[in-house]
């Protein structure tokens, strides 16, 4: 019997055979080890196949801890569906990271992406959030600055520390070496897999003229744009949490990450440096020109999520109350001290609120010595449970000239209003919050940093300057005011805020 092979299929087979030869030197996947992998069913991505080494990492106390840290922090107190955790998000990012790097590996064998690269990228995606504290971003953006104002601690760096701790504590060095991952690569001393994984997690800016990566040489700079993209903020971390958060929040989205993944391609792009006229190029991930609207939808999805959910007025006030409770209990539970000890940090999850709510269960002695602070913290938690929250009065969108002194101006306005109206509103009965919302790159248009290619010239990258339907501003700062004083004064408080807002937001006289 004669087997007829389609000429197009024959060409594909030849490419795959050549591609296989390129990878065989670095191949570390053996049939005996592959059976240790797992398939999990994810509500967002469907069935996800996990490499055996990823399974080993997942099955550790350090990673399992992420089951007890809510993805949206206090968002779950407002949106009942937002019950998802950092655990499933991390698995989703590992999956998408693998999809993107394997897609590039298959479509562009000239990039010489080996299986060590693939596995490092997947591990970085899996472990990028290991360093998150209780209630996710609340911990490093609100709690730590409140108790350690001079600290530069961020969860990204903590993720690297926790990853190294996880590997050592669970004896995974041999497992990693079994798959070819090492600190020193004999045939390429300029590569370091452990360093590379850490850099992928924290991010390396591939738009800088001088190459700063230590784990991989400059010819593989594009790999640093997969998990944490410092060039233009398009990365698989966002692809997962946009899709996952919209799914659990019940917010619709038009951004299609699966389509974007299909049209991703690595091209040479120009490295711009105002102080240097010499031309320099570097390999970077680009997208088909027709995907411009899809990419803008991605950035707009980020804005929408912040506006409707992450920075929701009730979420913000609950976050402030949780932060206050954590600060009051910090001295007795040594919460902030845990960031210096990954063993102790492993025990720190959202469950810290239960310890504050019922301190008598395990902390009778502490309760006797520090009853007042813990009772105050416990009362804050009880108010959240009973939805006894400060009342939202309103918000004002600020101009740059108003930002630095808005809180002082508001406090002064309350005093002046009291004198004028002969009232006795107390400044401490108001809670102020300043909210930042952008499209991912502060006040810059993120589309200005995205390179595209055309179907008929896939190796030539360019920036688009014909973008349409863009917002006037890409960044806004909101000043929100809540009232937690006596109920009978709420109407006066509302009137005070409304009058202040009308006066404060009057356009500035151009002659002033």
Tokens of 166: 């996880």
Is the per-residue pLDDT at 20 higher than 50? no
- For 343-363, write each residue's pLDDT tens digit: 999 999 999 988 887 765 554
Average pLDDT over residues 315-334: 92
3-state SS string over 141-177? Answer: HHHHHHHCCCCCCCHHHHHHHHHHHHHHHCCCHHHHH
Classified as helix, coil or strand, 20 is helix
Neighbouring C-alpha atoms within 13 Å toward the C-beta of 399: 7
Inter-CA distances, 442 with 18, 239, 252, 285, 359, Å:
45, 19, 24, 22, 41
Q: Which residue has the higher pLDDT, 374 or 131?
A: 131
Q: How confident is the model at residue 48 (pLDDT cuts 50, 70, 90)?
A: very high
Q: Nearest-CA neighbor of 240 among 446, 462, 88, 56?
A: 88
User: Could you give the residue ranges of the DSSP H alpha helices within 130-256?
Assistant: 137-138, 144-147, 155-169, 173-178, 193-202, 236-249
Cα(350)–Cα(59) distance, integer angstroms: 20
Dump the DSSP string for 344-383.
Answer: HHTT-STTHHHHHHSGGGT-HHHHHHSHHHHHHHHHHHHH
Give the pLDDT score at 121.
98
Average pLDDT score over residue span 17-25 = 38
Catalytic residues, by residue number, are 155
Tell me how far apart the alpha carbons of residues 304 and 310 are, in angstroms, rounded to a whole number.
Answer: 9
* Stronger pLDDT, 466 or 132, i.e. the higher one: 132
Q: What tokens were used for 459?
A: 């190796």
383-396 burial code (b ≥16 CB/10 A, e <16): bbeeeebbebbebb
* Angstrom distances, CA of residue 275 to CA of 209, 230, 272: 10, 21, 9
pLDDT of residue 502: 84
The average pLDDT across 170-196 equals 86
Please give the residue that has the higher pLDDT: either 368 or 312.
312
Write the pLDDT tens digit of every residue in 240-270. 999 999 999 999 988 999 999 999 999 999 9
Query: Between 34 and 393, where is the model more confident?
Result: 393
Rg of the Cα atoms in the chain: 26
Mean confidence (pLDDT) of the chain: 85
Q: Higher pLDDT residue, 186 or 439?
A: 439
DSSP string for residues in 21-84: HHHHTT----HHHHTT-EEEEETTTEEEEE-HHHHHHHTSHHHHGGGGSBTTGGGGGT-TT---
Backbone angles phi, psi at 43, to 5 degrees: -65, -20
Do the Cβ atoms of 342 and 287 come closer than 8 Å?
no
Q: Which residue has 């590992």 as its token pair?
A: 94
Per-residue pLDDT at 336 exceeds 80: yes
Three-class DSSP category at 465: coil
CA distances from 217 to 176, 177, 224, 281, 282 (A): 21, 21, 11, 14, 11
Which tokens go with 176? Answer: 């990693």
Q: How far apart are CA 309 and CA 384, in angstroms?
A: 18
Confidence of residue 469 (pLDDT cuts 50, 70, 90): low
**411 or 132, greater pLDDT:** 132
Name the least confident of 93-102, 133-142, 394-403, 484-493: 394-403
Contacts of 80 (CB under 8 A, 6+ apart): none
The reported pLDDT for the residue numbered 116 is 94
In this structure, what token pair is assigned to residue 366?
């502490």
Contacts of 509 (CB under 8 A, 6+ apart): none
Closest among 91, 86, 167 to 130, alpha carbons compared: 86
Per-residue pLDDT reduced to its tens digit, 28-38: 443 334 557 89
* Global pTM value: 0.79
With CA atoms as reference, report the closest residue to 200 among 267, 287, 126, 272.
126
Q: How far is Cα 168 from Cα 383, in angstroms, rounded to an integer?
A: 42
Angle between helices 86-107 and 236-249 in degrees, nearest 10: 140
- Supply the pLDDT for residue 381: 77
**DSSP secondary structure string, 288-340?**
EGGGHHHHHHHHHHHHHHIIIIIT-HHHHHHHHHHHHHHHHHHHHHTTGGGGG
Per-residue pLDDT band at 171 (split at 50, 70, 90): very high
Residue 186 confidence (pLDDT): 62
Q: What is the pLDDT of residue 276?
A: 67
pLDDT digits (tens, 9 = 90+) for 266-307: 999 998 775 666 788 999 999 999 999 999 999 999 999 999
């Amino acid at each position: 019997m004669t087997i007829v092979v389609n000429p197009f299929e024959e060409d594909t087979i030849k490419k795959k055979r050549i591609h296989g030869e390129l990878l065989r030197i670095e191949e570390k996947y053996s049939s005996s080890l592959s059976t240790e992998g797992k398939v999990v069913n994810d509500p967002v991505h469907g069935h996800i196949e996990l490499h055996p080494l990823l399974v080993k990492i997942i099955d550790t106390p350090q990673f399992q801890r992420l089951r007890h840290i809510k993805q949206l922090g206090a968002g779950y107190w407002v949106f009942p569906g937002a019950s998802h955790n950092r655990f499933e998000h991390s698995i989703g990012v590992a999956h998408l990271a693998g999809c993107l790097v394997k897609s590039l590996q298959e479509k562009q064998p000239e990039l010489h992406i080996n299986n060590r690269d693939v596995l490092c990228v997947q591990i970085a995606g899996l472990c990028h959030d290991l360093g998150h504290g209780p209630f996710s971003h609340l911990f490093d953006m609100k709690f730590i600055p409140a108790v350690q104002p001079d600290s530069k601690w961020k969860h990204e760096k903590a993720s690297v520390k926790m990853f190294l701790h996880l590997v050592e504590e669970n004896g995974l060095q041999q497992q990693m070496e079994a798959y070819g991952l090492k600190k020193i690569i004999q045939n390429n001393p300029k590569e370091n897999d452990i360093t590379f994984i850490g850099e992928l997690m924290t991010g390396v800016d591939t738009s800088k003229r001088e190459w700063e990566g230590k784990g991989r040489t400059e010819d593989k700079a594009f790999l640093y744009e997969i998990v944490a993209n410092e060039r233009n903020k398009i990365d698989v971390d966002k692809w997962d949490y946009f899709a996952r958060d919209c799914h659990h929040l019940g917010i619709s989205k038009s951004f299609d990450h699966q389509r974007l993944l299909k049209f991703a391609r690595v091209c040479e792009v120009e490295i711009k440096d105002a102080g240097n006229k010499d031309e320099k190029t570097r390999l970077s991930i680009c997208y088909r020109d027709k995907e411009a609207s899809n990419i803008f939808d991605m950035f707009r999805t980020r804005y929408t999520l912040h506006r409707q959910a992450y920075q929701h007025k009730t979420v913000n006030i609950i976050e402030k109350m949780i932060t206050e409770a954590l600060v009051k209990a910090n001295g007795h539970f040594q919460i902030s001290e845990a960031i210096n000890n990954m063993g102790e940090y492993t025990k720190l999850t959202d469950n810290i609120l239960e310890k504050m709510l019922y301190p008598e269960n395990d902390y009778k002695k502490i309760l006797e010595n520090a009853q007042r602070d813990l009772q105050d913290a416990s009362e804050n938690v009880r108010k959240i449970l009973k939805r006894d929250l400060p009342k939202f009065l309103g918000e004002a969108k600020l101009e740059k000239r108003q930002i630095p002194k808005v809180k002082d101006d508001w406090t002064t306005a309350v005093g002046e209003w009291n004198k004028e109206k002969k009232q006795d509103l107390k400044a401490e009965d108001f809670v102020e919050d300043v909210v930042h919302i952008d499209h991912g790159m502060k006040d810059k248009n993120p589309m200005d940093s995205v390179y595209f290619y055309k179907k008929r010239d896939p190796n030539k990258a360019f920036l688009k300057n014909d973008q349409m339907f863009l917002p006037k501003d890409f960044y806004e700062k909101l000043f929100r005011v809540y009232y937690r004083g006596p109920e009978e004064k709420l109407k006066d408080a509302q009137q005070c805020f409304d009058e202040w807002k009308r006066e404060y937001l009057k356009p500035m006289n151009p002659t002033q």
